[in-house]
Amino acid sequence: MDQFLRVAIEEAEAGLKEGGLPIGSVLVHDGRIIGRGHNRRIQQGSPILHGEMDALENAGRQPASVYKNSTLYTTLSPCAMCTGAILLYGIPRVVIGENSNFTGEEELLKSRGVVLDIRQDQDCIKLMGDFIRQHPDLWNEDIGE
């Protein structure tokens, strides 16, 4: 498996251990991880800390040239908020672990020229699927992410 998707899954598993939603993300630039994170909506009582937002936050402020040459990995298809951040910063490529439990704004991303690489990874599908079955209340609290 792609080493960076593996790290995103490790982040998702860390979030699950903390009692949160198992969604992880990694920002990769020039073959190197510059930010990694996971959904911390429950842990932080945050309405905005989805996995992708947490990875971007942990990468800190970066020059525009860095975002424009980066790939964002996420274990689950990005929601409207995270899609907005991807478009805002001009990240050209997104690797999506799976979109079978939730399909985010993929059409919007594609319409703006973002290249999507959807893996339908079985570990990602199981992590999210099990969580949704066990915690439908937490899953449904925001838009399903």
72 in contact with Zn ion (CB under 5 A): no
**Phi, psi angles (nearest 5°) of residue 116:** -110, 140
94 in contact with Zn ion (CB under 5 A): no
**Contact region for Zn ion (CB under 5 A) — 54-62, 76-84, 113-121, 123-131?**
76-84
Name which of 102, 58, 103, 93 is nearest 73 in CA terms. 93
Annotated active-site residue in 10, 11, 52, 98: 52
Helix, strand or coil, per DSSP, at residue 59: helix
b/e burial code for range 43-76 (CB count within 10 A of at least 16 → b):
eeeeeebbbbbbbbebbeebeeebbeebbbbbbb
Among 82, 86, 94, 114, binds Zn ion (CB under 5 A): 82
50 in contact with Zn ion (CB under 5 A): yes
b/e burial code for range 109-139 (CB count within 10 A of at least 16 → b):
beeeebeeeebebebbbebbeebbeeeeeeb
Known active-site residue 52: yes
The residue count for binding Zn ion (CB under 5 A) is 5
55 in contact with Zn ion (CB under 5 A): no
**Contact region for Zn ion (CB under 5 A) — 61-69, 71-79, 89-97, 124-132?**
71-79
79 in contact with Zn ion (CB under 5 A): yes
DSSP H or E run through 94: strand 93-96
38 in contact with Zn ion (CB under 5 A): no
**Contact region for Zn ion (CB under 5 A) — 59-67, 80-88, 94-102, 129-137?**
80-88
Residues in the site for Zn ion, rule: CB under 5 A?
A: 50, 79, 81-82, 145
